[in-house]
Amino acid sequence: MEAKKLGDTLTRAKPFLAVIFIQLGFAGMTVITKFALDKGMDQHVFVVYRHLVATLVIAPFALAFERKRRPKMTISIFIKIAILGLLETFIYYTGMKLTSATFTSAMCNVLPAFAFILAWIFRLEKVKLKKIHSQAKIVGTIVTVGGAMLMTLVKGAAINLPWAHQSGASSSAADAAASSAKQDPIKGAIMIMSGCFCWASFVILQAMTLKAYPVELSLTALICLMGCLEGAIFAVAFEGGFRRSSWAIHFDAILISIVYSVSILSLSLSASGHQFLTIISDQPKMIKN
């Protein structure tokens, strides 16, 4: 009896442990991606490559496992997929380029607030003011948005850490100063919040699309493919043409950041629930309702 109880507890805990593990992966992804952007990676090109690699990884599984149960594609579903491809845009990474990895991760706490508001607007989330769960969600929304505004508008004093003054730290300090000179916290915060709003919209629209097209892997592959094509158009447009240097990939941090981000995205496919994921994670996920 005790063994069965323990087994049931572990089974119920698996989704929570998985998402916590994925969140740790996201923290690493933020640091690696920020490093790649600081090394000169164009944020528009990064999104294109990320979608391209994700398409190549996920499409074979979609073809193998969902071929027989894939519903007919309609114009309505195609338009939703095209919009979903646009929603995961370069806005978030532009904000990251203008700020720091820590600031970006902290600002992403507004994602569940946006997701909750949009879910309530589209009646995917019920709000009953007399219920403690609804009250907690409302208070949480106010706190997260207020915290984001506080981080944006208030700039505290620099903290001089002991290890920052060691003999070998002069070059690192110079690099950090050069990186800080390119930062714009207010503009970056606006871009990150806009990106979070796009991701929250992505989560809600994806949940609605899955009801009409309930094949998770196929939908993910199509979204990534559309995101790749649309992102390439935006990248060329924003750069004023095709520049080979911006698209060049070598075996360095840039390649690692692309592969790593796709790996984390793939791990997140098994998670479920639009509110559950957005409370813990700062990335758009595949939802299975």
- Reported as a single tens digit per residue, the pLDDT across 115-138 is 788 888 887 777 788 888 788 878
175 belongs to a structural domain: no
What is the amino acid identity at position 124? L
117 belongs to a structural domain: yes
13 belongs to a structural domain: no
Token couple for 129:
């003011």
Tell me the average pLDDT across 199-224: 87
pTM metric for this prediction: 0.73
By C-alpha distance, which of 95, 86, 61, 67 is closest to 224?
A: 86
Tell me the average pLDDT across 230-254: 79
Structural domain of 110: 42-156+180-280
What integer pLDDT is reported at residue 106 of this predicted model? Answer: 77
Is pLDDT larger for residue 13 or for residue 161? 13
What integer pLDDT is reported at residue 265 of this predicted model? Answer: 60
Is pLDDT larger for residue 158 or for residue 52? 52
165 belongs to a structural domain: no
Is pLDDT larger for residue 93 or for residue 163? 93
Cβ neighbours for 99, distance < 8 A, ≥ 6 positions apart:
107, 183, 184, 185, 188, 189, 192
17 belongs to a structural domain: no
By C-alpha distance, which of 6, 205, 222, 28 is closest to 119?
A: 205
Average pLDDT of the chain to the nearest whole number:
76
> Strand, helix or coil at 143?
helix
95 belongs to a structural domain: yes
37 belongs to a structural domain: no
169 belongs to a structural domain: no
What's the total number of domains in the chain? 1
